[in-house]
């Protein structure tokens, strides 16, 4: 067999998430692949999100009974099959005609939680009706506060179990591929009949026009009581990267914190999420669960995040790659790959349950350098 045959076969039958990325690239129009795959400006943080995981080593323990591995955990009291959830990402119909319905069904099949994006291409009602996955609803607070309130109310009526407030997007990051491609995106389905989103961007990106036309850049900590006053659902805050903001989040009474830099699509040169996870975990001191997203591509990444204190991680692009390549089945395959990799990582590290993964199972770059002194 020639090398060409080998590489074709490899891409046709992906064995890891990064191979799904290549399948997605082939399946999608360039404009949409760039939208899904890209980050802000120099994409420094985009690279760092993945590379920072590579700087952490795992310290395995040997001769433990790992004949049965239990990957399950709980998030806000809901049992899930593994410490991995689906991050909110917009516009799944750009990847597959079934859109978020396919993603939700895959989440349900894999017994995990899907966070539905505020800017989805299926309505939150359609997603609620299509499967019995536990679902959270991600919220951007709009200049039209009444419309955000309406979305929260609809999420609550339709059985979403938490509101994930995205707090890192007062304006949209500068995503240069979208500007160059003059990306055109559909109107978010949840806003149909509520708000016209036909905004025009000077710079060419339809995503930028949409987000900057709708999101309220004045929304701040003092406004969280308003959000709490309109819902009984627990609120998770997404976009925390410092201990200062973690403490503020506790003060305003959130039910959980998601350490996130929005998949490096907002502020370039913000830190890789895995590099600040521990700072946030220490500040929170176990008062609420801490989650992480950004750059998780391997079971070993999940293991490292859990060892550094995350209750679970969320994956964004991997799900989109699976969806673009193979629809609902592709999303399932991606989730199952991560699950299998995590299971093997735990077995080889001597951990038979998620609780057994501890801080002493990993060594950061900083610690590696200190140990050489």
Ligand X SMILES: Cc1cc2nc3c(=O)[nH]c(=O)nc-3n(C[C@H](O)[C@H](O)[C@H](O)COP(=O)(O)O)c2cc1C
Reply yes or no on whether 243 is catalytic.
no
The correct pick among 21, 135, 189, 262 for binding ligand X (CB under 6 A) is 262
Q: Is 254 in the site for ligand X (CB under 6 A)?
A: no
CA distances from 324 to 27, 34, 90, 103, 269 (A): 6, 13, 13, 11, 28
Return the closest-CA partner of residue 66 out of 288, 344, 264.
Answer: 344
Tell me the chain's radius of gyration from C-alpha atoms.
Answer: 20
The correct pick among 115, 210, 224, 246 for binding ligand COI (CB under 6 A) is 210
Binding mask 77-116 vs ligand COI (x if CB under 6 A, - otherwise)? -------------x--------------------------
HEC readout, the chain = CCHHHHHHHHHHCCCCHHHHHHHHHHHCCHHHHHHHHCCCCCCHHHHHHHHHHHCCEECCCCCCCCCCCECCEEECCEEECCCEEECCCCCHHHCCCCHHHHHHHHHHHCCCCEEECCCCCCCHHHHHHHCCCCEEEEECCECCHHHHHHHHHHHHHCCCCCEEEECCCCCCCCCHHHHHHCCCCCCCHHHCCCCCCCCCCCCCCHHHHHHHHHECCCCCHHHHHHHHHCCCCCEEEEEECCHHHHHHHHHCCCCEEEECCHHHCCCCCCCCHHHHHHHHHHHHCCCCCEEEECCCCCHHHHHHHHHCCCCEEEECHHHHHHHHHHHHHHHHHHHHHHHHHHHHHHHHHCCCEHHHCCHHHEECHHHHHHHCC
Q: Is 263 in the site for ligand X (CB under 6 A)?
A: yes
Query: Which partner in ligand COI, ligand X, none is near 295 (CB below 5 to 8 A by kind)?
Result: ligand X
DSSP strand pairing (312-315 vs 290-293) = parallel
Residues 133-152, interacting with ligand X (CB under 6 A): 138
The correct pick among 119, 205, 260, 261 for binding ligand COI (CB under 6 A) is 119
Binding mask 68-87 vs ligand X (x if CB under 6 A, - otherwise)? -------------------x
Residue stretches of the annotated binding site:
117, 138, 140, 166, 175, 238, 260, 262, 265, 293-297, 316-317
Annotated catalytic residue within 5, 262, 361, 366: 262
Query: Which one, 66 or 303, has the nearer CB to ligand X?
Result: 303
Query: Which partner in ligand X, ligand COI, none is near 207 (CB below 5 to 8 A by kind)?
Result: ligand COI
DSSP strand pairing (135-139 vs 84-86) = unpaired
Q: Is 181 in the site for ligand X (CB under 6 A)?
A: no
Binding window for ligand COI (CB under 6 A); candidates: 49-57, 206-214, 216-224, 358-366 = 206-214
Query: Which partner in ligand X, ligand COI, none is near 172 (CB below 5 to 8 A by kind)?
Result: ligand COI
Q: Is 265 in the site for ligand COI (CB under 6 A)?
A: yes
Give the residue nearest to ligand X (CB).
Answer: 316
Q: Is 299 in the site for ligand X (CB under 6 A)?
A: no
Residue stretches of the annotated binding site for FMN:
117, 138, 166, 238, 293-297, 316-317
The correct pick among 82, 292, 315, 323 for binding ligand X (CB under 6 A) is 315
The correct pick among 45, 112, 119, 270 for binding ligand X (CB under 6 A) is 119
The correct pick among 95, 114, 122, 211 for binding ligand COI (CB under 6 A) is 211
Q: How far is the CB of 350 from ligand X (least distance, A)?
A: 28
Q: Is 141 in the site for ligand COI (CB under 6 A)?
A: no
> What number of other Cβ atoms are within 10 A of residue 149's Cβ?
18
- Residues in touch with ligand X (CB under 6 A): 35-36, 49, 87-90, 117-119, 138, 166, 238, 260, 262-263, 265, 293-296, 315-317, 320
Residues at the interface with ligand COI (CB under 6 A): 90, 119, 172, 207, 210-211, 262, 265
Q: Annotated active-site positions, please? A: 262
């Amino acid at each position: 067999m020639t090398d060409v045959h080998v590489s074709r076969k490899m891409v046709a039958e992906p064995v890891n998430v990064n191979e799904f990325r290549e399948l997605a690239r082939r399946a999608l129009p360039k404009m949409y692949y760039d939208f899904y795959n890209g980050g802000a400006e120099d994409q420094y943080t985009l690279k760092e999100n993945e590379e920072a995981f590579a700087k952490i080593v795992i310290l395995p323990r040997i001769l433990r009974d790992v004949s049965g591995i239990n990957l399950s955990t709980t998030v806000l009291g809901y049992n899930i099959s593994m410490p991995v959830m689906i991050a909110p990402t917009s516009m799944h119909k750009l990847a597959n005609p079934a859109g978020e319905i396919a993603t939700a069904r895959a989440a349900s099949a894999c017994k995990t939680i899907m966070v539905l994006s505020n800017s989805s291409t299926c309505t939150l009602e359609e997603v609620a009706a299509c499967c019995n996955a536990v679902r959270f609803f991600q919220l951007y607070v709009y200049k039209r506060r009444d419309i955000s309130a309406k979305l929260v109310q609809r999420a609550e009526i339709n059985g979403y179990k938490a509101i994930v407030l995205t707090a890192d997007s007062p304006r949209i990051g500068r995503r240069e591929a979208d500007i160059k491609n003059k990306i055109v995106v559909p109107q978010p389905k949840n806003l149909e009949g509520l708000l016209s989103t036909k905004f025009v961007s000077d710079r060419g990106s339809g995503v930028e026009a949409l987000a900057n036309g709708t999101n309220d850049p004045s929304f701040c900590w003092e406004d969280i009581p308003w959000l709490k006053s309109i819902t009984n659902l627990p609120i998770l805050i997404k976009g925390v990267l410092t201990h200062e903001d973690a403490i503020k989040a506790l003060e305003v009474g959130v039910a959980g914190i998601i350490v996130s830099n929005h998949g490096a699509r907002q502020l370039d040169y913000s830190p890789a999420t895995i590099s600040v996870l521990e700072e946030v975990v220490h500040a929170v001191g176990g008062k609420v669960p801490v989650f992480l997203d950004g750059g998780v591509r391997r079971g070993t990444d999940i293991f490292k995040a859990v060892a550094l204190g995350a209750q679970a991680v969320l994956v964004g692009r991997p799900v989109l790659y699976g969806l673009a390549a193979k629809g609902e089945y592709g999303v399932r395959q991606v989730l199952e790959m991560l699950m299998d990799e995590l299971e093997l990582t735990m077995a080889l590290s001597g951990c038979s349950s998620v609780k057994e993964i501890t801080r002493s199972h990993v060594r950061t770059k900083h610690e590696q350098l200190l140990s050489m002194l």
